[in-house]
Amino acid sequence: MPSISKRGQQVPLSPFRKLAPLAEKAKAAGKHVYHLNIGQPDILTPPEALQQVQQANLKILEYSPAEGFLSYRKKLCEYYARFDVELNYEQVIVTTGASEAIQLVLLSCLNQGEEILAPEPFYANYNGFAHIADVQVCAITCDIETGFALPDAAAFERCLTPRTKAIFITNPNNPTGTFYGREVLEGLALLAKAYDLYLIVDEVYREFCYDGQPFFSALNLEGAEENVIVIDSVSKRYSACGARVGAVVTRNQAVLDAVSLYAKLRLSPPTLGQIVAEAAIDIGEAYLHEVKAEYDRRRMVVYNRLQQMPGVTSYLPGGAFYCFARFPIADADDFCQWLLSDFEYRGATVMLSPGAGFYATPGLGKDEVRIAYVLNVHDLEAAMDCLEEALRVYPGRLTETLIDEAIPAWG
């Protein structure tokens, strides 16, 4: 029997994937599971955009050009113009979701063994994409006590190695919901220019910035045109995760050339998804406005409820639809398993993503979880009731003394 590849056995998994069988078991036993672990929103996709698939009246479901339909690339430029970003369509390459965009960018920009520097906690699948490209994700640690604000430039400089090729951030951040404003980005751009690094910014949550904070795209960083590469996707902004339509956006011609070569290999991004995505750009502003208001309401529910739970540390996330929380427990993996296997409150329980999987540094995030607020306010309140009760009765809950003793281990 031929042997499997070593790398095929070492693919890093998303933090909640191993909990999935436990959730299935809980549901089979009649327990309701509130899913706060995933990034699949419950928001309706714009109906006009979905209808466009039938109105297009296709006779042959053909390949699109490898870089995406010309009409869609041009329409995307109109969309970016709303954020004062001026582009021509050749600077936009359509991909099969942000997942593929990241992979093509890593392959295009980094050789085997080179490194990207990302603030941790970070979206766990970045590890997997790096694994495929045979590169490393190195982490600069952020702290829940500061709402995961980015460390200063000097801290970044200390993390650079001769193999560092790019700084990679998600803005607003998944998994922390942290929002990075113009000054933060300008600081990163200075670093990128000083050290000849790519500045790769995953902006898939750009529509969801709260508290009146204006989103500032990395594509507007003057003088860093050769450094900046933006990752995009329609999955979250139009609740169209299944469209599998993302993009690589950059003004760096060499990157565009390389990404385009890789894109040609796999022939075409999904045709039907592109039709939905193109139509979605033309729907009224009201849709995105309402979706953002809905997430904002949910954000406040999660924030307020967490603030009221004894021993829980959290913060008001500025964007996206995630936040992190620190619980008075020793091991969030154990807690999340216990929630699914041993806990029930009013016939329900809650599924969370254990925090450690979002950190590259061993030992960090063990008492933290990511919460995705992808349920309506009513369900979210019920989920928070579950969580509050769970933290109250959890046999592994640390007492105040134990927490104080445990703190040095977190440091």
Q: Which stretch binds a copy of itself (CB under 8 A): 109-117, 177-185, 299-307, 391-399?
A: 109-117
Sole binder of a copy of itself in the list 15, 97, 121, 318 (CB under 8 A): 97
Distance from chain centroid for Cα 346: 31
Candidate ranges 98-106, 149-157, 354-362, 387-395; the one touching a copy of itself (CB under 8 A): 98-106
CB of 273 to a copy of itself, least distance (A): 6
- Residue 7, SS3? helix
Binding mask 114-133 for a copy of itself (x = CB under 8 A): x----------x--xx--x-
Among 151, 181, 187, 242, binds a copy of itself (CB under 8 A): 242
Nearest to 376 by CA among 3, 41, 20: 41
* 8-16, 77-85, 324-332, 338-346 -> range binding a copy of itself (CB under 8 A): 8-16
**For residue 311, how many C-alpha atoms fall within 13 Å in the half-sphere facing its CB?**
21
The CA–CA distances, whole Å, from 264 to 104, 127, 256, 259, 358 equal: 11, 25, 12, 9, 32
Q: Binder to a copy of itself among 70, 155, 261, 409 (CB under 8 A)?
A: 261
Task: List, in sequence order, the alpha helices (H) in 150-284.
Answer: 153-159, 182-194, 253-265, 271-281
**Is residue 140 a contact point for a copy of itself (CB under 8 A)?**
no
Q: Does 162 bind a copy of itself (CB under 8 A)?
A: no
Does 264 sit near a copy of itself (CB under 8 A)?
yes
Instruction: For 330, list phi and psi in degrees, rounded to 5.
Output: -90, -30
Note whether 234 and 277 are within 8 A (CB). yes
Which of 186, 226, 334, 388 binds a copy of itself (CB under 8 A)? It is 226
* Min separation Cβ 306 and a copy of itself, Å: 27
CB of residue 388 to a copy of itself, shortest distance in Å:
29
Q: Which residues contact 363 (CB under 8 A, 6 or more apart)?
A: 356, 409
Q: 361 near 117, Cβ under 8 Å?
A: no
Bridge partner list, 34:
350
Estimate to the nearest angstrom the gap between the alpha carbon of 194 and the chain centroid. 27
Q: Is 6 in the site for a copy of itself (CB under 8 A)?
A: yes
Cβ 277 vs Cβ 303: under 8 Å: no
Q: How far is the CB of 146 from a copy of itself (least distance, A)?
A: 29
Phi, psi of 384 (to 5 degrees): -70, -35
Between residues 59 and 378, which has the closer beta carbon with respect to a copy of itself?
59
Picking from 78, 319, 84, the residue whose alpha carbon sits closest to that of residue 222 is: 84
Among 112, 158, 212, 285, interactor with a copy of itself by CB under 8 A: 112
Please report how many Cα atoms fall inside a 13 Å half-sphere around the Cα of residue 33, on the Cβ side: 25
Binding to a copy of itself (CB under 8 A) within 30-89 occurs at: 40-45, 47, 50-51, 53-54, 58-64
How many CA atoms within 13 Å lie on the side-chain side of 121? 33
Among 262, 335, 345, 373, binds a copy of itself (CB under 8 A): 262
Write out the binding residues for a copy of itself, residues 352-391 only, by CB under 8 A: none
DSSP state for residue 9 in the 8-state scheme: G
Size of the site for a copy of itself (CB under 8 A): 82
249 lies in the site for a copy of itself, by CB under 8 A: no
- Residue 319 DSSP label: B
User: Whole-angstrom Cα distance, residue 68 to residue 230?
Assistant: 16
The region of 189-197, 201-209, 349-357, 384-392 touching a copy of itself under the rule CB under 8 A is: 189-197
Instruction: Give me the least distance between CB of 243 and a copy of itself, in Å please.
Output: 5
**Which one among 108, 170, 178, 349 touches a copy of itself, defined by CB under 8 A?**
108
CB of 50 or CB of 330, closer to a copy of itself: 50
Residues 307-346 close enough to bind a copy of itself by CB under 8 A? none
How far, rounded to the nearest angstrom, does the alpha carbon of residue 54 sit from its chain's CA centroid? Answer: 31
Instruction: Rule CB under 8 A: say whether 165 interacts with a copy of itself.
Output: yes
269 binds a copy of itself (CB under 8 A): yes
Q: Which of 266, 289, 297, 392 binds a copy of itself (CB under 8 A)?
A: 266
CB 301 within 8 A of CB 384: yes
